[in-house]
Structure 1
Amino acid sequence: MIRIILLFGFLNCLRFIFAEVAPNERMQSILDNLPKDSLRIDSLNEWALQHRYANLSLSISLAKMAGELALKSNNSEGYALSNYRLGLLYRMKEMPDSSVWHYRKALQNWQSTENAERIVNSLNAISKVYRMQGSYDSALFYGYKALEICRLDNDTANIAKSQTKIAIIYELTGEYDKAAEIHANNLELYKSIGDEQGIA
């Protein structure tokens, strides 16, 4: 009976090991058969996102591989995206300093290409890390920077989304009047663009 239990445990360990190794082998096989570095970078960045809940360490490794390959091939968009992925992954791993560092690297890249949507996403992501740390002044600083860009682009939907994120910070700091004022303003914005979900 003890032998059966030990054998069963051993087989379970083997299954776990192969479950961890097999995806890497399949991934490498796919990467080897892709004709361009840009496709390899895109695949690595996508896999990094897909595996974040099942295997966070693997996701971080994949995003790092994407970043290294992007640097080597002068793919600035791929490099920015890999840093953005790493920002998310390190936030999930509860490593806020590393998270902010990578989000800032992504932000720098997207600022150089003037990609407004990506810039706003990066600023809001940095704001969220600070908010989760309880660093509300820094969270508001980056939140308002994101809002400023949305206003310059006259992007009503993203103005409302950015304002909602700021309102959440004010609620956390106990500044409920400011939060309520923002929510009321958002309601009018959502009505102006017919956003039923936002109104609800």
Structure 2
Amino acid sequence: MAASPLQLAPRGPQIVIDSLKRELKVGVKDSLHKLALYKALSISYWKKSPDSSIYYAKKSIKLAESAGEEEEKGDALHNLGVAYYYANDFKSSLDYFYQSLEISEKIADLNRIGRTLNSIGNIYYSLNNFPEAISSYKRSLVLTRQSSNTKMEASILNNMGSLYGSHGRIDAAYILLNQSVALLEKLNDSIGLSSSYNNIALLYRENGVYNKALKYDEKALHINKKMGRIWDVSFISNSIGETYFSKWSVFI
């Protein structure tokens, strides 16, 4: 989703959070630096503690407004939308994404518009609203390609593939997911590959191709273990367990 202005090292989430909090505690006088810390904390807390993520995103918005930083406010609104998504409050999430989109359209930033439309598509996907989800993804894909953001393009293709798969459009789903994987492999984007691998695994599982499902989820699990992404390790492990259950329940 949204990128932080800080370059965070590939460390465990709690280590990053502790480091950011220490820096805040020492005292940061520069408002833009403080804003960067707030935004980074909001992002770091997305999956770990949505309530904490919401807290820091709101502080980001307030500081961006006082500093007259419209672009930063748009990013902070987007981050708040993500936080509410992880809190399973899709209505609030959608509201903040649209506020962020309004700012991005006002400043005519194609990359930000494409990113936010992708996020909006994710909410409609979660709400099982296929027409709005696919419309948002397609608009996002066009703008993202215009801004030459290959990483975001791969993310959108991944989301579209997953959406098509969940609605029985299997052939289209495989094509889109494999396009996503091809781009991510060129970028050496491990986190993105983990998501695409898991979506391919899910597609194989739903179509009874259990060995291939396990193969792709094992790839995703290896990536997340190596990166110390505990939440994702748990998620993928659960996915593997569901595949084994589906595989052996055939014989029960």
TM over 0.5: yes
Q: Tell me: CA distance 1:43–1:134, structure 2 relative to 1, closer, same or farther (3 Å).
A: same
Amino acid at match of 1:34: V
The answer on whether the counterparts of 2:54 and 2:80 sit within 8 Å (CA) in structure 1 is yes
Amino acid at match of 1:113: I
Post-superposition shift, 1:141?
Answer: 1.0
Post-superposition shift, 1:154?
Answer: 5.3
**Counterpart position of 1:41:** 35
Q: Tell me the number of residue pairs that the alignment of Structure 1 and Structure 2 aligns.
A: 173
CA distance in 2, matches of 1:180, 1:54: 31
CA distance in 2, matches of 1:109, 1:60: 20
Q: Deviations over 1:94-118 (max 9, x none)?
A: 0001111111222222223333322
Give the one of 182, 186, 190 matched to 1:195.
186
The answer on whether the counterparts of 1:48 and 1:58 sit within 8 Å (CA) in structure 2 is yes
Give the one of 29, 36, 55 matched to 2:25.
29
Secondary structure class of the residue paired with 1:122:
helix
Amino acid at match of 1:171: G
Give the TM-score normalised by structure 2.
0.58
**Counterpart position of 2:83:** 89
Is 2:137 the counterpart of 1:146? no
CA distance in 2, matches of 1:48, 1:158: 20
Q: Tell me: CA distance 1:48–1:146, structure 2 relative to 1, closer, same or farther (3 Å).
A: same
Post-superposition shift, 1:142?
Answer: 0.5
Is 2:104 the counterpart of 1:110? yes
Post-superposition shift, 1:84?
Answer: 1.2
Is 2:60 the counterpart of 1:75? no
Give the one of 36, 40, 61 matched to 2:55.
61
Secondary structure class of the residue paired with 1:71:
helix
Secondary structure class of the residue paired with 2:34:
helix
My pick for the range that moved more, 71-80 or 152-161, is 152-161
Runs of 5+ in structure 2 lacking a partner? 1-17, 198-252
- In terms of Rg, which structure is larger? 1
Residue identity (%): 17
**Counterpart position of 1:168:** 162
Amino acid at match of 2:73: Y
Q: Tell me: CA distance 1:54–1:160, structure 2 relative to 1, closer, same or farther (3 Å).
A: closer
Task: Select the structure that is richer in helix.
Answer: 1
The answer on whether the counterparts of 2:151 and 2:187 sit within 8 Å (CA) in structure 1 is no
The answer on whether the counterparts of 2:38 and 2:57 sit within 8 Å (CA) in structure 1 is yes
CA distance in 2, matches of 1:49, 1:87: 11
The answer on whether the counterparts of 1:87 and 1:100 sit within 8 Å (CA) in structure 2 is yes
Post-superposition shift, 1:27?
Answer: 7.0
CA distance in 1, matches of 2:99, 2:130: 22
**Counterpart position of 1:121:** 115
The answer on whether the counterparts of 1:38 and 1:78 sit within 8 Å (CA) in structure 2 is no
My pick for the range that moved more, 144-153 or 81-90, is 144-153
The answer on whether the counterparts of 2:42 and 2:54 sit within 8 Å (CA) in structure 1 is yes
Q: Tell me: CA distance 1:159–1:56, structure 2 relative to 1, closer, same or farther (3 Å).
A: closer
Runs of 5+ in structure 1 lacking a partner? 1-21
Secondary structure class of the residue paired with 1:195:
helix
